[in-house]
Structure 1
Amino acid sequence: MLVLVYLYGQSFFIGPEVKSGLQYFKENFRDISGLSRDNVVDAGRWQKIVSETSISSVGIQSFKDNKIYKQGSGLILSSDGLIVTTYDNMPVNASGSQVFYGGKIYKPTILVRDYNRNLVLAKIVAEGLTVSRLDQSNSTQSGEELLIVGSVPFVSKPTIFSQIALLSYVTDREIVLDSTPNYYINGGKIVNGRSEVLGIVQIRSGKVTIVKSQDIDLLLKNYLNKGNH
């Protein structure tokens, strides 16, 4: 499986002969980024977080006019196939979508589209899936180093990616990250150095922001409280 790694302004694919993209970056950081060693994250720590969190990520593809229309990531909310992603990844005007996980491609059933929260709750027919945590951190602060982790379809196969982000600022209405708004990070999970999942990525007006875990949890609870599932 290829691994797409984006760190400090560079993105690159790593083949299976390399232990991991983050390890590769750590060993070749001067050639890749031109940064001093003091500015490079603890690659071993982040690699552990990528390993722990990527297994509950799915790749998303949506189509329109027989072409790929949207691509991004999502996360697993239940072992029997409930998943969540951004509305941007599965918009109502798409003709269809598919979900990539564990070497298989699934056709999702859309359960809830919440345009205001930019969320879609969907279901795939699967069992024994690894479920993502949803955490509420009370100690996030500007300048904190975070990691965007997800899975995106690449040549019809799910490809794990990771991208470093800094928490830029927090308001009552949004949490803004200092990170490049690459299209494939939409729906990727935001993880801090304590392995807490703070939410998923959305891109708004060129800014990388967070759909918070609290909003995802509320969407799921509202659906389940109506006697579904």
Structure 2
Amino acid sequence: MAAVSETLRRVTVQVRGRRSGAGSGVIWSTDGVIVTNAHVVSGTSAEVELFDGRVLKADVRDRSDQRDLVALQVEATDLPAATISSSDVLRVGELVLAVGNPSGVARSLTTGIIHAAVNRSHWIQADIPLAPGNSGGPLANGFGEIIGINTMIVNGRGFAISSRVVQRFLSDRAELPYLGVTLQPVRVPLHRRPVFGLLITDVQVDSPAEAAQLQPGDVLVGVRGRLFQAPNELFQILDRSHVGDGLPLDVQRGSQRIVADVVLCSRSVPKAA
């Protein structure tokens, strides 16, 4: 375990991309690509601190706010890159590890187990203690191979974006339908039972979401009158959609349920999917 921990700590960086607080990131390739969460980096650049103490400027290479992913590029070679594993082979009860920078404690290690593999196409749910400084850091299997990017805690469980989604984000250059929102998964009490929702934390200027008058604090709960059955369902719908399609989103705004008619468009700089 000590050797695995050391390997994970070497490929984990501290990301300082907002005025307050810091997150984590993963060195995805030896040529300087670092993956983190979109909510960790607010602008077009950030600072990253490597395991050896070097602090480098990192520019945003690709961005997808609705998937909460950012790819940073640093001017460095010979970096220790993570080993990436498929998130499709996870089993409930499997040991997982997370490394991050919670409360200013650099590259601390926590352990847990896979809680649910049913959403592995986008989200991985794990019973593992995470804190805000873990955002953007690695979720790894017992061999130290990266299976996801830690993103948030919902009802005491950690949610990580699967390595499969990250790989597609990095490799797919096509113009994909774009909403222009930053989302976080939540549980919403509707009809006397909790349902899956996606909390809007940010709406981008001149985006389809802004045109449809969506606001931070709104919670997306379904599409075309059908409630979400899993946190990743909206992303699957977007992947099947095309630029120019209309998408009626069911929205919980305070105590009101409204429908926001969004017309999807594309955006190329910075890249959003």
Q: TM tier, shorter chain?
A: 0.5 to 0.7
Change (3 A) 1:174 1:49: same
Contact 2:111-2:129 within 8 A present in 1 as well? no
Once the two structures are TM-superposed, the CA of residue 160 in structure 1 deviates from its matched residue by: 2.1
1:85 aligns to 2:85 (yes or no):
no
Q: Which residue of 1 aligns with 2:24?
A: 73
Q: Which residue of 1 aligns with 2:170?
A: 220
Instruction: Choose between structure 1 and 2 for higher RCO, CA contacts under 8 A separated by at least 6 residues.
Output: 1
Change (3 A) 1:151 1:182: closer
Once the two structures are TM-superposed, the CA of residue 136 in structure 1 deviates from its matched residue by: 0.4
Percent of aligned positions that are identical? 22
Contact 1:74-1:187 within 8 A present in 2 as well? yes
1:164 aligns to 2:164 (yes or no):
no
Letter of the 1:126 counterpart: A
Once the two structures are TM-superposed, the CA of residue 56 in structure 1 deviates from its matched residue by: 1.5
Cα deviation code 1:87-127 (max 9, x no counterpart): 121135xx862110121111211111111221001111112
Larger Rg: 2
Cα RMSD (Å) of the superposition?
Answer: 2.6
Give me the whole-angstrom Cα distance separating, in 2, the residues matched to 1:174 and 1:81: 25
Give me the whole-angstrom Cα distance separating, in 2, the residues matched to 1:91 and 1:177: 27
TM superposition score normalised by structure 2 = 0.56
Give me the whole-angstrom Cα distance separating, in 2, the residues matched to 1:113 and 1:73: 16
Contact 1:59-1:153 within 8 A present in 2 as well? no
Once the two structures are TM-superposed, the CA of residue 184 in structure 1 deviates from its matched residue by: 1.5
- Give the unaligned 5+ runs of structure 1: 1-45
Once the two structures are TM-superposed, the CA of residue 167 in structure 1 deviates from its matched residue by: 1.1
Q: Which residue of 2 aligns with 1:175?
A: 124
Change (3 A) 1:182 1:191: same
- Give the unaligned 5+ runs of structure 2: 175-267, 269-273
